[in-house]
Amino acid sequence: MANSGAMQSMCLGDAMKKPVRIGLVGSGFMGRTHALGFRTVGGVFDLALAPVLEVLADANEDLARGAAARLGFARSTGDWRALVADPAVDVVDITAPNLLHAPIALAAIAAGKPVYCEKPLAPTAVAALEMVEAAERAGIVTQVGFNYICNPMLALAHEMIASGELGQIWSFRGIHAEDFMIDRQSPWTWRLDPAGGAGAIADIGSHIIGIARFLLGPISALCADVETVIPERPLPGGGGSRAVEVDDQARMLLRFARGCRGVIETSWLSSGRKMQLEFEVIGEKGALVFSQERFNELRYYKVERDGSRNGFRTILAGPEHPPYGAFCIAGGHQIGFNDLKVIEIRNFLEALAGGPRPFADFREAYEVQRVIDAALESSRAQRWVTLD
């Protein structure tokens, strides 16, 4: 239905640019972040394409209508299939629960439309591969929401590792821990639906696995211990409980194809931790330490002959670390979480305009999913699993 009060999202300077009409499915935490990103991106970056917030789909007409008005979409629908088939939708953006990613993305690809989809891409690597192959066959641009790798400080870390500044890399330590599931009485949600895939290792662990791959390349083998700590959760609205079949926590030993080794831990039961997405990369000539809770900083240790004044130094994000300068001309003023989505959307829109494919496309998300599947298999079989 038409939303007469909706503000069209094209900015003033966008008038000469080619419009690209966005169909967004889902309007929760991520839906709002994506909508904000599409509204902002043209004011931050000089792009060939100008996103237009065309249609928003949600689980029913009422939810969709309210969200479309709030987020600035022209029209709304309670049926994602209508959004995908809508000739006025050029791009399908999926921020619905995980179980819906595959059917919506496959329908969008069949309709010849580029897809921007939240992580985790699919419940299993097999399902993810079907999506990758369909997109690659159709020559469709895809983007997956691994927004943390869009951080300018991660680009710096990547550059320092790739250039050899840290020397030979000896170790990676990564963790993604939060505490949003610690209350045993917090009700069963779609995040616990085994049909949608794994638990914390997919929901938040996919981010640290993606970061490990972004910085150090493929993981060639792993040994994991995956556990469910809270065995059941109350059903929403009362009326009993439901068994939890997915993981709350996981620990993994890793071997990277480049030769170094590492560990990753994931948990959504980590009391007190709000966004402990952290890593350390340790090399022969130096080390890097990063925490998403202070994500405008990268801590760097350089091994020096004279150790008397040696120690970690803190590099503050600034215009020297692109694309920070597109947001703010002054260093140390900091960019925010929503800005990472703006950078991700910039990458996607540039790819749509013929630029390089985004690093975090469907194929990359499939590789992350293979690591998750391997961890589940390793834990089940209590053995190391090799990834080809």
Residue 31 interacts with ligand NAD (CB under 6 A): yes or no: yes
Contact (Cβ atoms closer than 8 angstroms) between residue 149 and residue 210 = yes
> x/- binding map, residues 126-165, to ligand NAD, per CB under 6 A?
-------------------x-x------------------
The C-alpha atoms of residue 379 and residue 58 are separated, in whole angstroms, by 36
With beta carbons less than 8 A apart as the criterion, state whether 362 and 131 touch.
yes
Looking at the chain, the number of H-run helices and the number of E-run strands are: 11, 17
Binding mask 247-286 for ligand NAD (x = CB under 6 A): ----------------------------------------
As a whole number of angstroms, the distance between CA 31 and CA 22 comes to 12
Q: From 43-51, 57-65, 242-250, 254-262, give the range in contact with ligand NAD by CB under 6 A.
A: 57-65
Contacts with 127 (C-beta within 8 Å, 6 or more apart), sequence order = 102
Shortest Å, Cβ 243 to ligand NAD: 21
Q: Which residues contact 55 (CB under 8 A, 6 or more apart)?
A: 21, 22, 23, 24, 68, 73, 74, 75, 76, 77, 83, 86, 88, 89
Indicate which single residue of 26, 72, 199, 205 sits in contact with ligand NAD (rule: CB under 6 A): 26
Task: Characterise 259 by phi-psi region: left (phi > 0), alpha (psi -120 to 50), beta (else).
Answer: left
Residue number, 122 or 161, with CB nearest to ligand NAD: 122
In the complex with ligand NAD, which residue's Cβ is closer, 260 or 341?
A: 341
Rounded to whole angstroms, the Cα distance separating 341 from 35 reads: 10
203 binds ligand NAD (CB under 6 A): yes
Burial string for 128-162 (b: 16+ CB within 10 Å, else e) reads bbbbbebbeeeebbbbbbbbbbbbbbbbbbbebbe
Binding mask 94-113 for ligand NAD (x = CB under 6 A): -xxxx-x-------------
Residue type, 50: A
Say how far apart CA 340 and CA 353 lie, in whole Å.
Answer: 20
Q: Select 73 or 256, whichever has its Cβ closest to ligand NAD.
A: 73
Q: Which is nearer to ligand NAD, 118 or 364 (CB)?
A: 118
CB of 111 to ligand NAD, least distance (A): 17
The count of residues interacting with ligand NAD (CB under 6 A) is 22
Check binding of 364 to ligand NAD (CB under 6 A): no
Q: Is 323 in the site for ligand NAD (CB under 6 A)?
A: no
Amino acid identity, residue 219? I
Does 58 participate in binding ligand NAD (rule CB under 6 A)?
yes
57 binds ligand NAD (CB under 6 A): yes
Name the one range near ligand NAD by CB under 6 A: 42-50, 51-59, 68-76, 213-221: 51-59
Q: CB of 203: closest distance to ligand NAD in angstroms?
A: 6
In 3D, which of 48, 49, 47, 56 has the Cα closest to residue 22? 56
Kindly tell me which residue out of 63, 129, 253, 328 binds ligand NAD, with binding defined by CB under 6 A: 63
